[in-house]
Amino acid sequence: MRFAILTLLAAAAALGQNWPAFRGPMGAGVADGMEPPLKWDGEKGANIAWKTPVAGISVSSPVVWGDRVFVVTSISSDPKSEFRSGLYGDTEPAKDMSEHTWKVLCLDLNSGKVVWEQTAYKGVPKTKRHPKASQSSPSPVVDGKRVVAWFGSEGLHAYDMQGKPLWKKDLGTIDSGWFFDPDYQWAVAGSPVIWKDRVFVQADQQKGSFVASFDASTGKEMWRAQRDELPTWGTPVVLEQDGKAQLVTNGTKGIRSYDPMTGKPIWQYLGKNSEITCPTPVLGHGHIYVVNGYPPVQPILAIKWGATGDITLKEGEESNAGITWSKMRGGSYQPSPLLYGDLLYICSNQGILTAYNAKTGQRVYQERIAGKGGSYSASPVAADGRIYLANEDGEVHVVKAGEKYELLATNAMGEVMMGTPAIAKRMMVVRGMKHVFAIKAAE
């Protein structure tokens, strides 16, 4: 018995060393015990373990398993391919419809050397993209046996850890774009998820939205749930508590929970919501926290783990049998929320950080993050009492966790940064627009 317990503890510790998906295990964005650095300088090289160039445009995030880092990219054949960061409200898609090459790359965590790369698809994109997005916006996901990348209309692709192709699935043209005008295509952004040898994809689009489960070994479709939903850009997440699991999806018409094994619905919220949804839900304190921030409705919902059926709030309600507390203002547009300790942190696109008491919903503080200002698309992550917030100008601000806002450091990367950092093995892996960086404090 003692040996079995020690084995389980060792396995849990090994899993904790990994950052296998967008925002790490269960999309939480938390990596306590990994001791990432406090200060570095991407331009001058201070505490930069390595810096590896990656061609193309990608706004996705890196993932880490063992001593390997996985990233994706899409390389346009047009040398003038457009990308624009910053705060703006343009809806017209980028005009680059030249031939692209979609790639999956594996880097060595210790050296940054490219271990292998595979071309998943080559051709003219099947849909246009937003000028602030790319044709490879979803982050890859890895489970130690395989790495899976989703490129939307260009398919779902799986490789083993050595880069050998395992399977691919054509899910058809995924037409995600502005709901007011279907000609304004923006491409997909939600990342795939792996759980118990299953791969999950949320494909909300103009017509025929769905969430589906695939066998991770073969690509066989296990189930598909049709969704009455507008295009969304959020990553679904499988949350686990008390021996049970839920696949939770954010959406404009409905925030929904499914049984991940069968696709059967568990609960749904069909109340007021943002017209565009991006953030990934997080779990803690017996609640699932879901936020959205596209105005005018910017909800924050603390949904009870054991909720079932229709939990929609009635007019004038702030709570019910399935929701402990809620707010209709204050949610974030693109960055996902961060639950760390007893506080729920929400970062706006404009760089306003707000902390709430996660159990009651009471606002603890609201502060503008220091630095150049600019726009925040990456989601906050945390480790060892610190919160890391990356902006599009290539600054990573470090804030002390707790009930009082305290800026500890501001670190420059030296290039545009859209992806969320990964934390593993005392290192932080950051995806810039031109390079992948590994940051590690001096021994």
Q: Is the dihedral of CA 141, 145, 146, 147 positive or negative?
A: positive
DSSP letter for 372, please: S
Q: How far apart, in whole angstroms, are the C-alpha atoms of residue 247 and residue 230?
A: 19
Per-residue pLDDT 10s for the chain (443 aa) are: 333 333 333 333 444 589 999 999 999 999 999 999 999 999 999 999 999 999 999 899 999 999 999 999 999 999 889 899 988 888 899 999 999 999 999 999 999 999 999 999 999 999 999 999 999 999 999 999 999 999 999 999 999 999 999 999 999 999 999 888 888 999 999 999 999 999 999 999 999 999 999 999 999 999 999 999 999 999 999 999 999 999 999 999 999 999 999 999 999 999 999 999 999 999 999 999 999 999 999 999 999 999 999 999 999 999 999 999 999 999 999 999 999 999 999 999 999 999 999 999 999 999 999 766 679 999 999 999 999 999 999 999 999 999 999 999 999 999 999 999 999 999 999 999 999 999 998 76
User: What are the structural domain ranges in the chain?
Assistant: 15-439
From the centroid of its chain, how far is CA 200? 14
CA angle 224, 147, 241 (to 5 degrees): 60
- CB count, 10 Å around CB of 50? 19
Q: Is the dihedral of CA 206, 207, 213, 215 positive or negative?
A: negative
Q: Which residues of 416-439 are buried (b: 16+ CB within 10 A; e: fewer)?
A: bbbbbbbbbbbbbbbbbbebbbbb
Strands 287-291 and 282-284: antiparallel
The DSSP bridge partners found for residue 407 are: 399
- Identify the CATH class of 15-439: mainly beta
Q: How far apart, in whole angstroms, are the C-alpha atoms of residue 418 and residue 234?
A: 15
Residue 339 in tokens = 């639950």
| Residue in the structure block whose two tokens are 């071309």 | 119
DSSP for 230-278? ----PPPEEEEETTEEEEEE--SS-EEEE-TTT--EEEEE-SS--SS--
Residue at 155: amino acid letter: G
| pTM for this prediction | 0.95
